[in-house]
């Protein structure tokens, strides 16, 4: 009879432990279900009869340019699309952007490239919107960025259509610090030539330096293989 209270206490303790386990499992399940999902970009249509036909709901055209990219004497289409809604990217709210390229097929356009990460967005690390513009000249697409942060950092990417895809055929990076130091790196991936120039104050004159070298063979990269600007380490400390 004296052991009955002890048995009762033991049974109550087991019940409390079981309730804690169940509660912990429920808490973990709740945390799992409330996990924030990454943003899913819309898939652009393969064909459209007009420019507006490529613009998804909730998006807008930020920039557009036309010109012959595949040497068929027809004006092709390049657009920068921007989401109207602010979305969490890189730990902060931005407006996602899409680079799209479509070829002129007579009575409609055919989508040839959708790149969801190459066009930089406005972010806190930049003093202003890093995107400048897109151009088409002599069949080559130019993509321009200005990274204003404690000086100037200009990026120009040259994209050409060859071997049934879009390749980065050239790139130039020009930087200028607030102290007057200037440098530029010019890459020609088609001819495999690289030229580096630097200039910095030296009394009342300026000291200049020029360095040239040959790029390694098979250096051509598809634009789709480059996730973002300044992520490709071509060699040494040269990143574009």
Q: Is the pTM of this model over 0.75?
A: yes
DSSP assignment, residue 36? P
Chain-wide mean pLDDT for the chain? 85
Give the pLDDT band (50/70/90) at residue 39: confident
Distance CA 161, CA 239 (A): 23
Give strand pairing partners of 67: 76
CB atoms within 10 A of CB 168: 22
Distance CA 232, CA 168 (A): 11
Give the whole-number percent of the chain exceeding pLDDT 70.
81
Segment among 20-24, 137-141, 169-173 with least mean pLDDT: 20-24
Distance CA 187, CA 238 (A): 10
Segment 61-107, tens digit of pLDDT: 999 999 999 999 999 999 999 999 999 887 889 999 999 999 999 99
Give the pLDDT band (50/70/90) at residue 206: low
Distance CA 127, CA 125 (A): 7
Segment among 32-41, 201-210, 223-232 with least mean pLDDT: 32-41
Residue-level pLDDT at 203: 61
Give me the residue spans of the domains in the chain: 47-239
Segment 103-112, tens digit of pLDDT: 999 999 999 9
- The residue with tokens 């969801």 is 116
Measured CA distances, 72 to 47, 75, 103, 161, 164 (Å):
18, 9, 10, 12, 13
Cβ(217)–Cβ(108) below 8 Å: no
**Token reading at 230:** 């300044």
């Amino acid at each position: 009879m004296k052991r009955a209270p002890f048995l009762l206490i033991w049974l109550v303790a087991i019940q409390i432990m079981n309730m804690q386990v169940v509660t912990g499992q429920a808490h973990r399940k709740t945390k799992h279900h409330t996990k924030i999902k990454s943003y899913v970009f819309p898939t652009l249509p393969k064909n459209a009869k007009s420019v507006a036909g490529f613009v998804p709901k909730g998006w807008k055209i930020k920039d557009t340019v036309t010109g012959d990219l595949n040497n068929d004497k027809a004006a092709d289409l390049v657009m920068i699309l921007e989401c109207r809604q602010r979305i969490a990217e890189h730990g902060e709210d931005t407006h996602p952007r899409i680079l799209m390229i479509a070829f002129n097929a007579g009575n409609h356009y055919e989508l040839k490239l959708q790149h969801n990460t190459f066009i930089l967005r406005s972010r806190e690390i930049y003093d202003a919107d890093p995107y400048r513009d897109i151009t088409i000249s002599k069949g080559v697409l130019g993509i321009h960025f200005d990274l204003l942060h404690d000086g100037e950092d200009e990026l120009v990417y040259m994209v050409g259509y060859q071997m049934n895809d879009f390749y980065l055929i050239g790139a130039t990076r020009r930087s200028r610090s607030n102290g007057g130091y200037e440098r530029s790196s010019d890459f020609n991936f088609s001819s495999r030539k690289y030229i580096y120039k630097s200039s910095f104050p030296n009394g009342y004159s300026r000291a200049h330096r020029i360095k040239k070298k040959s790029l390694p063979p098979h250096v051509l990269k598809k634009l789709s293989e480059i996730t973002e600007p300044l992520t490709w380490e071509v060699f040494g400390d040269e990143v574009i």
